[in-house]
Amino acid sequence: MTTPFSHLLRIYWEDTDAGGVVFYANYLKFFERARTEWLRTRGFEQEVLRATQRVMFVVADTRVRYLRPARLDDQLRITVDVREAGRASMDIAQVAWRGDQRLAEGEIRIGCVDTDSFKPRRIPGELLEGLVLAPR
Amino acid sequence: MTTPFSHLLRIYWEDTDAGGVVFYANYLKFFERARTEWLRTRGFEQEVLRATQRVMFVVADTRVRYLRPARLDDQLRITVDVREAGRASMDIAQVAWRGDQRLAEGEIRIGCVDTDSFKPRRIPGELLEGLVLAPR
Amino acid sequence: MTTPFSHLLRIYWEDTDAGGVVFYANYLKFFERARTEWLRTRGFEQEVLRATQRVMFVVADTRVRYLRPARLDDQLRITVDVREAGRASMDIAQVAWRGDQRLAEGEIRIGCVDTDSFKPRRIPGELLEGLVLAPR
Amino acid sequence: MTTPFSHLLRIYWEDTDAGGVVFYANYLKFFERARTEWLRTRGFEQEVLRATQRVMFVVADTRVRYLRPARLDDQLRITVDVREAGRASMDIAQVAWRGDQRLAEGEIRIGCVDTDSFKPRRIPGELLEGLVLAPR
């Protein structure tokens, strides 16, 4: 079994709301940061992909369950785990952890589109290989 | 058949990202604004509910499908439609419209909790009546 | 004496932080929304200006003094008052009001730049006239 | 001469706007993150200060000059340099760097206030010593 990619981040004032906890919409930002770092770790920069391959990823569907609140100064660990990779889209499971507590769970579907037309495009082979097939 | 509640809003620079369109996480903010105005229209201010009834709503689960991008200067109409109301939670369907185009669809589950303990609490009767049962 | 342009807005959860008040960085967003609506009122849409005149406004300098906190559900009124208009930049004074209380005061310098080169450009005459010289 | 504290951060989609660059209001967030990490490095957590010393810092005045745009995937280095420390407030100079380019310069005044009354309070001695007087 492989270990999913992990990204560490800190909770700042900007992330919280008047309930004293992290504003729930921000978990989508945390999940995004982790996916970006995961891509970078595998050797892909999104700006470079846009320029050279003329593809970009767009978020098509997000599902998030909020289990426990995070607070100011907390350190969170965000995991990235590809569940399924199709021709033009990927389903990614993500979890926000504080220590061994699951704070939020997400399922994010991202689609691969052409930079100009925004039409769905097949995920380039080297990208798919680098992200999904390579041993982690 | 009743018409769901609608809230109008405008897309500003703060809402967009380098893709030239609205950053997808922001639809959760738009849906939240619409729910807040819907509560207000029915006579409920969240700060007042917190102070007098010792209850607050927390978001427990969000699902959003992104259909078409919104852009700077667009005017969006966000609808709020209660699908199901249980003892301590409500399922709300929301749509972001530009004219008659559906841009994003959300299903938001909000739970009613005690202000101090954050434990689930029955939705106060007058609130439930005001939100769900009253003719729209 | 003329009255400055006013824009009304509401404080939502997204605007607050764990201190229970509006996160200070968000006043820059509020000021921006008011400037956008002020432009729109005078007949200028920024996307149209970008497409037809090849100019856009960029923020070059911001100064904000925070006087009193705003809270959830507050309604704020944001004013826009051009203090000085040069060839390629404008100095705009902005205030966030709650009723007759000044909550924050800003001085924002915006520069006019070419859409492609990002180099400073003279503010188009009709724009300057529409924004500054016309009777308010 | 001493070196100011530095904090590294990455630019993600959430930080950008439709102009293709970092939304200017976000530099206030970056400056805040750096001040929080600077406090942490010196041994002070804001939540702990709130609980034990009954003090918190509030931002009273911000000035930011925007010199060059930052873009997606850029790594920024944010510096923190106390310029003046009074009885109840501090003036902090901050710069956002990309490599050796200055992207934005800020002057931030933070005040020390009582957690309950929000009234100005003398900065606790050990805090002042830890932040300003100790050799860096």
A121 is written with which tokens? Answer: 């495009």
Query: How many distinct helices (H) and strands (E) make up chain D?
Result: 3, 5
Residue of chain D minimizing CA distance to B72: D18
**Cβ neighbours of D36 in A, within 8 Å:** 10, 12-13, 73
What's the rounded Cα separation, in Å, for the pair D82 and D75? 23
> Could you state, in order of their start, the residue ranges of all structural domains in chain C?
5-133
B54-81 pLDDT tens trace: 999 999 999 999 999 999 999 999 999 9
The CA distance from D14 to the nearest CA of chain C, in Å, is: 14
Q: Is C50 on the interface with D (CB under 8 A)?
A: no
**Cβ neighbours of A13 in D, within 8 Å:** 32, 36
Catalytic residue among C15, C17, C74, C116, which? C17
The CA distance from D3 to the nearest CA of chain A, in Å, is: 24
C7-37 pLDDT tens trace: 999 999 999 999 999 999 999 999 999 999 9
Q: Is A58 on the interface with B (CB under 8 A)?
A: yes
At residue A135, the pLDDT reads: 52
Interacting residues of B124 by C-beta distance below 8 A, sequence separation 6+: B53, B55, B112
Cβ pair C19:A13 closer than 8 A: yes
What's the rounded Cα separation, in Å, for the pair A36 and A48? 13
Reported pTM: 0.95
Interacting residues of B98 by C-beta distance below 8 A, sequence separation 6+: B68, B70, B74, B75, B76, B77
The CA distance from C14 to the nearest CA of chain B, in Å, is: 7
Q: Which of B136, C69, A44 is nearest to D59 (CA)?
A: C69
**Mean pLDDT for the stretch of residues A7-27:** 97
Cβ pair A60:B66 closer than 8 A: yes
What's the rounded Cα separation, in Å, for the pair D42 and D35? 11
**Cβ neighbours of C72 in A, within 8 Å:** 18
- C40 near C80, Cβ under 8 Å? no
**Which CATH number among 3.30.1370.160, 3.40.50.2300, 3.10.129.10, 3.40.50.300 corresponds to the domain A5-133?**
3.10.129.10
At residue A126, the pLDDT reads: 86
- D74 near D98, Cβ under 8 Å? yes
Q: What is the ipTM of this complex?
A: 0.93
At residue C36, the pLDDT reads: 96
Residue C126, pLDDT > 90, answer: no
Residue of chain B minimizing CA distance to A29: B25
Residue B42, pLDDT > 70, answer: yes
Residue D133, pLDDT > 90, answer: no
**Mean pLDDT for the stretch of residues B112-134:** 86
At residue B134, the pLDDT reads: 57
**Mean pLDDT of the residues in chain D:** 92
D47-103 pLDDT tens trace: 888 888 899 999 999 999 999 999 999 999 999 999 999 999 999 999 999 999 999
Q: Cα B4 to the chain's mean position, in Å?
A: 12
Cβ pair A12:D71 closer than 8 A: no
Q: Tokens 């704020």 sit at which residue?
A: C76
- A22 near B28, Cβ under 8 Å? no
Which value, in Å, is the radius of gyration of the alpha carbons in chain A? 16
Active site residue B17: yes
Give rounded-to-5 percent helix, strand, coil for chain C: 25, 40, 35
What's the rounded Cα separation, in Å, for the pair D131 and D133? 6
- C33 near B33, Cβ under 8 Å? no
Phi, psi of C90 (to 5 degrees): -135, 140
